[in-house]
Amino acid sequence: MQADYVVVGAGSAGCVLANRLSADGARVVLLEAGPPDRHPMIHIPAGIRTLLQHPVLNWNYFTEADHATGGRKIHWPRGKTLGGSSSINGMLYVRGNPADYDGWAQRGCRGWTHDEVLPFFKHSEDFRSGGDAKAPGGHRGRGGELAVEEYRTILPLTHKFIEAAGQAGFPHNPDYNGPEQEGAAYSQMTRNNRFRASTARSFLSEARKRPNLEVITEAVATGLLFEGKKCVGVSYRQGNQDEGGKDKEIRVDREVIVSGGSINSPHLLQVSGIGPGEHLQSIGVNVRHDLPGVGDNLSDHFVTRISHRMKDDMMSINQLSRGFRVVREAMRYALFANGALTFGVTSAMVFCRSREGLASPDLQLLFTPASYSAVELKTFERRPGVTVAVCPVRPESRGTIMATSADPFDRPAIRPNYLSAEGDAHVLWSGIEKTRDILAAPAMSKHSFGETTPGPVVNSMESARAYGRNYGNTIYHPVGTCKMGEDPMAVVDSRLRVHGVSGLRVIDASIMPTVTTGNTNAPTIMIAEKGAAMIIEDSKTA
């Protein structure tokens, strides 16, 4: 098979790339390891609780056991279907802070300041909740493929949380994706009316009708094909990975674009001979290009949760998920496209600073009008409750993702090294204190029986660190393992071309030099928009 471009991975970035490149007239093949996105729970917003551990639609990775997390192996869900993780995530649309992108530019990533990336955020977006979208020079976009909405149904507990945050010193921010991020805000979601707005549904469903775009599902990339230092194609296995799968190749006339995400992108490069040479040799991989930064610089958002048992006078999702109310909510969803089945995981959030003197927020406090009986967000408690996830959003800790053998089907070793940097524990403790201040404010406290998790045992920075080690969890935002830049550990340049070879780019969350301040789906879509524009621009001048 021959194409102009092959895009490896139909996730948050890959679907956007396939759309934009094929719209320009190029012949594009999009490879996806998972099946089509036909499962109904993908499209119902509340279906996330079914998808977090789904055996087919989820890669279900686990980290290596680490003393920094109490010897636990932490589950890392990653989407394995059209849309990738945008088909299984919590749907929060958070662009990040302008300082994130200005910081990238200061690290040598030319063309990536906030002012330079803002048009690519706006290009994708169809913001349906007011704001300054129509104003000249406004921050929001209208008419793009990606629907962004606020909650249509907001439980009174969420209003009380916003009120309590104001009482605790965190004023209401009407749009955290606008000029200012800081403050307490209602969540914005990638949702189109009653349905999840994954990148597959938003960018791929119509684009697939083009004769110059071919989408191949259940096709696992097994290696990058080279002629010398030039990448000329991709090998893949279609069908059953163990028995009966067919090994195939695609050759390209222009470029291969790796968009497998922060785990699969560095892993594919490594098993193809691009990565830290000494490590590749140790696992039996022939080194094509010694690029030490591949798989390094792993950064993720690590959270701990604070829960309160609430009085029966305030409805939480716990009650809505049981008994006759389930039937009522299903009818509300079917007839009116509102109610609990349209909810994501988080209905409100606070962006704030852990201490005075910081230039921008380093904490995100995510409020859910529900409480859970397990670490992962799968089973609600029987009694009414609320939960706040305390998330240091500018972590200093860094980890690695490394191939364990030359076999592309052997899973890589994931070592995030959570809380290994001393500063992260200080920010975590500050976040716990600020969350307690909000939940103790009158608007919330008069409806609460008090804190149930973690309780009074966490009363210092050291006890907060211990709580994080034993009970903390990922919030599913790994980035940075093929970072952009010009330093010796950079993997791609500012145009997302892999250093040291030609014909190969990486375009996904793995190129972020640092993790953004908040959820990472929106920035990944922006990266794909900007990456596609650069590819098209470069093709005109080649």
pLDDT in tens, 53-77: 999 999 999 999 998 899 999 999 9
User: 147 falls in which pLDDT band (50, 70, 90)?
Assistant: very high
Q: How confident is the model at residue 104 (pLDDT cuts 50, 70, 90)?
A: very high
Q: How many other CB atoms are found less than 10 A from the CB of residue 143?
A: 10
The mean-pLDDT minimum among 281-285, 329-333, 372-376, 389-393 falls in 372-376
Residue with the bigger pLDDT between 151 and 96: it is 96
pLDDT confidence of 332, banded at 50, 70, 90?
confident
DSSP 43-77: HSGGGHHHHTT-TTTB--EEPPPBGGGTTBPPEE-
C-alpha separations of 315 from 318, 328, 384 in Å: 8, 14, 7
301 is catalytic: no
Burial code (b: 16+ CB inside 10 Å, e: under 16) for 252-268 equals bebbbbbbbbbbbbbbb
Q: Per residue in 206-233, pLDDT tens? A: 999 999 999 999 999 999 999 999 999 9
Tokens standing for 184? Answer: 């307490």
440: its two tokens: 């103790």
Give Rg (Cα) of the chain.
Answer: 22
Query: Which range (81-85, 105-109, 118-122, 380-384) has the least confidence?
Result: 380-384
Q: What is the per-residue DSSP string for 382-438?
A: SS-EEEEEEEESS----BEEE--SS-TTSPPEEE--TT-SHHHHHHHHHHHHHHHHH
Distance CA 527, CA 511 (A): 9
**What band does 484 get if pLDDT is binned at 50, 70 and 90?**
very high
Q: Model confidence at 129, in pLDDT bands (50, 70, 90)? A: confident
| Helix or strand (DSSP H, E) at 345 | none
Contact 66, 84 (CB under 8 A): no
DSSP for residue 251: E
Nearest to 403 by CA among 227, 274, 219, 231: 274
Mean pLDDT of all residues belonging to the chain: 95
Q: DSSP code of 378?
A: T
Percent pLDDT > 90 in the chain is 85
| Domains of the chain and any CATH numbers | 1-121+190-299+397-418+478-542 (3.50.50.60), 152-186+302-392+420-471 (3.30.410.40)
Confidence check: pLDDT of 272 > 50: yes
Q: Where are the beta strands (DSSP E) in 246-384?
A: 246-258, 274-275, 289-290, 302-310, 348-352, 363-368
Nearest partner of 31 among 190, 289, 252, 206, judged by Cα: 252
Query: In the prediction, which pLDDT does 495 show?
Result: 99
Lowest-confidence segment of 3-17, 46-60, 77-91, 254-268 by average pLDDT = 46-60
Distance of CA 350 to the CA centre of its chain: 18
Which is it for strands 2-8 and 28-31: parallel, antiparallel or unpaired? parallel
Amino acid at 501: V
pLDDT band at 132 (very low <50, low <70, confident <90, very high): low
pLDDT at 131: 55
CA distances (Å), origin 114, targets 135, 190, 339: 18, 21, 36
Q: What is the pLDDT of residue 242?
A: 66
In which band, very low, low, confident or very high, does the pLDDT at 134 lie, cut at 50, 70 and 90?
very low
The stretch 154-166 carries a mean pLDDT of 97
For residue 293, pLDDT over 90 is answered with yes
- State the pLDDT at residue 377: 57
At 138, the pLDDT band (50, 70, 90 cuts) reads confident
pLDDT single digits (tens) 231-244: 999 999 998 766 67
**Residue 315 binned pLDDT confidence (cut-offs 50, 70, 90):** confident
Q: Give the separation between CA 88 and CA 425, rounded to whole angstroms.
A: 29
Which position among 39, 54, 114, 477 bears the catalytic label? 477
Segment 378-387 mean pLDDT: 83
Residue 192: both structure tokens together:
């189109």
